[in-house]
């Protein structure tokens, strides 16, 4: 299994890279088909941050954690994936073809403190909400999101006619989620992008529309 590594503001020593690859290879023992595995390492605010993402037969598993030590940050992130697998083993057995029930990455207990196993819980939808999707630009959507105090906002892009989502990024600024074109689509794949609202000016009609929408929420 090939593991892709991406580093930001941090160097990845060869011995630690070998350690990470050795641990991640164990995913193959649990699942029949691994489509993609990547590790993103970042250093910010005095901490090493490790994000592990694995595409297991179309099911995305993600674990992220941080620590002053790079290896410990990786172990904690991997431990989070282990918890997810144990918690959702019934779903993963059906959807991701999980081969075994006893999942363990053999993480050093001295590095990761033992935690109580989590019980598997059904993913029950307890609330449904219907809302209208307004046509607006991504910039207008970020404004609307801020006015509502939300961390994301769904809207219909007035340029493409597609349903998009804007969200607030942890690193600052905003992100835009767009639908990837399927094989039957003739148009090219859309590109995700981050953007900032600084220096932008809302058109008069956009401002009126936003104000009207906010009043309707009161």
Digit-coded pLDDT (tens) for 63-118: 899 999 999 999 999 888 888 777 777 777 776 666 544 444 455 555 545 444 45
> Is residue 140 domain-shared with residue 86, that is, in the same domain?
no
What pLDDT, on the 0 to 100 scale, is given for residue 122? 60
Domain extent at residue 22: 3-95
- Determine the Cα–Cα distance for residues 129 and 57; give it in Å rounded to an integer: 31
Please tell me what DSSP assigns to residue 172.
S
Please tell me what DSSP assigns to residue 201.
-
What pLDDT, on the 0 to 100 scale, is given for residue 110? 54
> Is residue 78 domain-shared with residue 140, that is, in the same domain?
no
Q: Which of 27, 11, 15 lies closest to 3 in space, CA to CA?
A: 27
- Determine the Cα–Cα distance for residues 142 and 148; give it in Å rounded to an integer: 10
Q: Any idea what the CATH number is for the domain that residue 81 is in?
A: 3.30.160.100
- Determine the Cα–Cα distance for residues 10 and 47; give it in Å rounded to an integer: 10
Residue 125: inside a domain: no
Tell me how many domains the chain contains: 2
Across the range 195-204, mean pLDDT stands at: 35
Helices (H) and strands (E) in the chain, counts: 6, 9
- Whole-structure pTM over 0.85, yes or no? no
């Amino acid at each position: 299994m090939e593991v892709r590594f991406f580093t930001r503001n941090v160097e990845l020593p060869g011995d630690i890279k070998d350690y990470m690859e050795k641990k991640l290879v164990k995913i193959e023992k649990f699942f029949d088909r691994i489509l993609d595995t990547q590790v993103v390492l970042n250093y910010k605010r005095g901490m090493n941050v490790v994000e592990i993402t694995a595409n297991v037969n179309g099911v995305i598993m993600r674990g992220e954690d941080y620590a002053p030590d790079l290896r410990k940050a990786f172990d904690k992130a991997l431990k989070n994936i282990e918890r997810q697998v144990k918690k959702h083993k019934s779903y993963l057995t059906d959807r991701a073809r999980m081969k075994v029930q006893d999942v363990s990455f053999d993480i050093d207990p001295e590095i990761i403190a033992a935690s109580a196993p989590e019980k598997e819980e059904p993913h029950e939808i307890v609330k449904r909400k219907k809302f209208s999707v307004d046509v607006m630009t991504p910039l207008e959507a970020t404004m609307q999101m801020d006015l509502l105090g939300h961390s994301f906002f769904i809207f219909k892009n007035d340029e493409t006619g597609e349903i998009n989502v804007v969200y607030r990024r942890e690193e600052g600024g905003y992100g835009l989620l767009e639908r990837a074109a399927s094989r039957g689509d003739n148009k090219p794949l859309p590109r995700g992008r981050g953007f900032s609202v600084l220096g932008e000016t809302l058109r008069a009609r956009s401002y009126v529309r936003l104000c009207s929408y906010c009043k309707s929420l009161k």
